[in-house]
Structure 1
Amino acid sequence: MIVSTRYVRSSALLCRNYRNERAFHSSRTSCILFRDAEYVTEKKQVLTLENGAIESRRYLLRSDGFGFSVQHAILRPQQSATLRYQNHVVAVMVTQGEGEMRVIPPNNKKTASTQEHPSFKLSPGAFFALNAAETVQVEAMTTELHLVSVLNPPLVGPEKRNENGVFTMIDEDGIERESYDHNIVRRLFEPPESLRCGTIMKDDPLF
């Protein structure tokens, strides 16, 4: 079945309510979310970062309740960007273009063995992940470099790098933080609504 893009875009979320007299959760909802580039533009979820070097299209945000966020970043030709996600873990897939990723050691020191930063060629299908400790520099070659990434904690929407080079985190109260402690971790890493009670009971007629 083909769903009309025009119809989907009006709400961006297709939901089918399952109502059963026997169900504990009579308002339980099953949803399919669909968004395109026009949608994120209309919702002002497209940001220009790194002095114009990156266009970041933010498709899935914390408010969507999936437990992670999804972004499509476009790095302009012959431009570079430094990525430091000390507040997030991030997985990145290259979908278009060619470039290079260089690992920047702590305090920007050169490695003793090669006197150079380790580097990796980027092309469609290349993948890398950062576990909130590394800093990398990504450079596009002669064409745009397209990167699709998944972040946790999920983005609220307007996050950018601050003056210290840190990609900040916005907590549930809307406060922008350069770092955070264990007291708010559970509020940032909540499971999605559909998995909050586990999966073993999802198909039970009484659930």
Structure 2
Amino acid sequence: MLERSRAMIIKRLEDVIGTDRHVTGSTGTESRRLLLAADGLGYSLHHTIVPEGTEQHLHYKHHTESNYCIAGEGEVLDVATGVTHPIKPGTLYTLDKHDEHVLRATNGNMHLICIFVPALVGNEKHQSDGSYPPPD
């Protein structure tokens, strides 16, 4: 539920879970979409949970994305270079050049705080090539 206090936007995770802003992907990944395009900020903010033992091949051709790990461990493979980077709490990785990548959760469910630019509308699901559709 959107609550406005003066010019502030206040969101609570509990108000997102179980709504259309709580999206589950084919690998069981959960995207809890706290801020979306309708919020008018130019970016969207998500709390994403990647289940341990899963792997996702992603390629955001129309968005840039930053991810900050707050729990769990994993790795991200840069497909272009073949380099794998470890991810653990306190690690940030940014896909600023529409980088094709493979994300793996290896030790516990990995929790990421994610920012997308441009903002997602909210109902996007990954296409077969690992991207989201271009914004309207």
- Provide the TM-score with structure 1 as the length reference: 0.61
Instruction: Say whether 1:47 aligns with 2:23.
Output: yes
Distance 1:32 1:59 in 2: 14
Give the Å deviation of 1:74. 0.3
Kindly name which structure, 1 or 2, has the bigger radius of gyration based on alpha carbons: 1
Shift of 1:127: 0.7
Higher strand residue share: 2
Structure 2: segments with no counterpart, 5+ residues:
none
Counterpart for residue 37 of structure 2:
62
Aligned residue for 1:144, secondary structure, equals strand
Structure 1, residues 146-176: CA drift from partner, whole Å, max 9, x if none? 11111111000011211233221331xxxxx
The answer to whether residue 85 in structure 2 is matched with residue 120 in structure 1 is yes
Q: For 2:5, which of 15, 20, 25 is the aligned residue?
A: 15
- The answer as to whether partners of 2:58 and 2:129 remain within 8 angstroms in 1 is no
* Matched positions, count: 136
- After superposition, the C-alpha distances for 1:84-142 in whole angstroms (9 at most, x for unaligned) are 1110111111111111111112xxxxx6xxxxx20111100101111243111111113
Structure 2 residue identity aligned to 1:102: L
- In the other structure, the counterpart of 2:95 is 130
**Any conservation in 1 of the 2:36–2:43 contact (CA below 8 Å)?**
yes
Alignment of 1:1-207 (within 5 A): 12-16=2-6, 31-49=7-25, 51-105=26-80, 117-171=82-136
CA distance in structure 2 between the partners assigned to 1:125 and 1:34 by the alignment? 24
Q: Distance in 2 between matches of 1:37 and 1:64?
A: 16
Structure 1 spans left out of the alignment, 5+ residues? 1-8, 17-30, 106-110, 112-116, 172-207
TM-score by length of 2: 0.91
Give the Å deviation of 1:43. Answer: 3.4
Question: What RMSD in Å do the two structures reach over aligned CA positions?
Answer: 1.6
Identify which of structures 1 and 2 has the higher relative contact order when contacts are C-alpha pairs closer than 8 Å and 6+ apart. 2
SS in 1 for 2:107: coil
Residues of 2 paired with 1:94 and 1:142: CA distance? 13
Instruction: Report percent identity of matched pairs.
Output: 28
Letter aligned with residue 135 of structure 1: E
What stretches of structure 1 move > 6 A for 4+ residues in a row?
A: none
